[in-house]
Structure 1
Amino acid sequence: MRQVSKALTMAAAVVGAGMLAAAPASAAPFWQPVSTTSNWHCGSTEKHAGSNNVLFQTCIVVSDSNTYAQAVLVVRNNASAAVNIEGSLTTNFGGGADCNSSKLNPGLVTGCFGPTIKVGSASPIYAYSDLKMNGISDRSTSITLV
């Protein structure tokens, strides 16, 4: 019996690892550090309705071949106190995501990354985000790539 249980555990681990490897890249629902490159295309940086010191924007990251895209909600806290954030991403290419509630300390920048989706030659693609900061909701302008 112990051998069968051990074999099932091992098989489940192998199947689980394979499923994770096949899943699209995504950090949602968790907030992650942000490091931009030339593949990042971002909408305007906006002041949040709840604070002029909390800035946010929606970005779309595209692969070098323009075959894959990923939406990102980027938040910067320029305030002198920590803020509580949570958010969501909406896209027309299946890359939407919900972002967990999290504390963002002063002076930090963080991002919530939606899944990486194969977009092929789909055009245009767009994304926008909603950010709740200390209980106050606000929506970014959308970013559209043609």
Structure 2
Amino acid sequence: CLDWEKFRIQAVAGEPGWVTLQSFHGTFVGARAGGSAAPYLMPHCQAWEHWRLCFGSLPALDALAQAGQPSITLQSQLGTFLGIRQDGNLSVCLNTGTPFTLSDCGDGWVALRVPDGRYLGANNPRDKGLKLVDHCLD
């Protein structure tokens, strides 16, 4: 995978079930109350950059797990989920999660693939945003 397609999922100390999603650039994926529906990237890691790691609650997750593909959904501190809206854009204001299939990129890094085959990608630190890319280059 290319660097901007790599993320590290790390447990939050003292918060069982909660993780951070750190980009290769060192920024953290977050969701803010009252903010834009789009996820953002920040250079720090505070409560809004913590995500509940969810396994197997959706039929799509169960099917992927049975196929041997580890998949997750990510729930924000707001109780909403990171995923794809009907228009194909990323959002943190969804009531149900989009399953992300994890691909091992080595050295503790993973790529997150959405059901339509695109991958989560981090813009450069100045842009502070996430994007979906058509493929993860190995």
When the two structures are superposed, what TM-score results if normalisation uses the length of structure 1?
0.25
Name the one with the larger helix percent.
1
When the two structures are superposed, what TM-score results if normalisation uses the length of structure 2?
0.26
Name the one with the larger strand percent.
1
